[in-house]
Amino acid sequence: MNAHRSSVEITVPVHNEEHVLTASIEQLHEHLSDAFPFDWTIVIADNASTDRTLEIAYGLADRFDRVRVLHLEEKGRGRALRASWSGSGSDVVGYLDVDLSTGLDALLPLVAPLVTGHSDLAVGSRLSSGSAVARGPKRELISRCYNLILRLVFAVRFRDAQCGFKAGRTVVVQRLLPAVDDEAWFFDTELLLLAEHNGLRVHEVPVDWVDDPDSRVDIRSTALGDLRGVRRMVWRFLRGRGGVDLAGHERIPLRDDFGRQTVTFALIGAFSTVLALAVFLALREQLGAVLANVVGFTGTTVLNFWANRRYTFRRRDASGRWWHISGSIALYVFSLTLASVGLALLGGQLVTEVIVLVVTWSFAAVVRFVLLRSWVYRR
């Protein structure tokens, strides 16, 4: 992509913002004119305003050649961004909140890795170590808790899904948009989750951010809507419905990432071993050693399979899933049989049984790793 010809379209979604729209667009226009090296356009995306916002927006478009207006009859930030980005012909699309809570100095660092093709999406982060943020404790706590949930549940790399300061390569964003269901505040999170799920690179930029004291966002309803969105995406990914056809714009993974796979597999295996041993020790007296091992090992195998498929071998879509499941079941039967035979022959003393389990599980894990790499996930 040629940096001198690259074009960037920045959408400012608005709903009843007559009190701040003029000053914000003037400030944004001045900043882009003075400090932005790419061709640019500002799109004021009015979604169902009932005050003078739309009238003011058209007035600004008359004043400035590079300002356009998009009007929607229905409310929803996600809906406004979808409408604006879907029809864009620019190389990069992005958006920022009309209150300009995010310092505009971060706009060029946000867009630059997209123009060069280094990254696919870029997000401003108020939770990065280099950020400077001024906001109340309630919003800070809710934001940190929400993003912690995303990191724990989806193992995402980005730290801040909610900051109103994002951009993406248009060809990639337009491929992702049909797969995004939300039309409101969860739109951002869903777009980012789908991007990472499909192997795209998300660049994160630390920002200076000052809380808008006049913000009219209903924190409670927004938070509940976000949690419902998280639940929906968990179910979607579990069913293997997160794949998006990127039409050649996806990032090709390394062919043989042996070092990372080995360490990741070992970490997942260590966690699974500790968990399986805990279940074994809890059930041994009631069920006996062999049956307790069956329960503990079977339960952790499901978690182990999911984690290894997603993180060790980085298969996140539905392609080849049933082959992966079939191969993993065969290896599960082998591992369980090996441990059960060992317990039947050498069981009786707790210490001996634990040693038998650790040794047989470790040997079986090595065999499983070799076969998963060379057979199950090589196909």
CB 94 within 8 Å of CB 163: no
Quote the tokens at residue 109: 């660092």
- Which candidate, 202, 189, 193, 364, places its Cα nearest to that of 272? 364
CB 45 within 8 Å of CB 84: yes
CB 21 within 8 Å of CB 44: yes
Output the furthest CA–CA distance in the chain (Å, rounded): 87
The one catalytic residue among 39, 188, 257, 317: 188
| Residue 166 backbone dihedrals phi, psi, to 5 degrees | -145, 160
CA separation for the pair 249, 227 (Å, rounded): 30
The 10 Å Cβ neighbour count of residue 245 is 12
CA separation for the pair 89, 148 (Å, rounded): 35
Annotated active-site residue 214? The verdict is: no
180-193-236-376 Cα dihedral, nearest 10 degrees: 130
Q: List active site positions.
A: 188
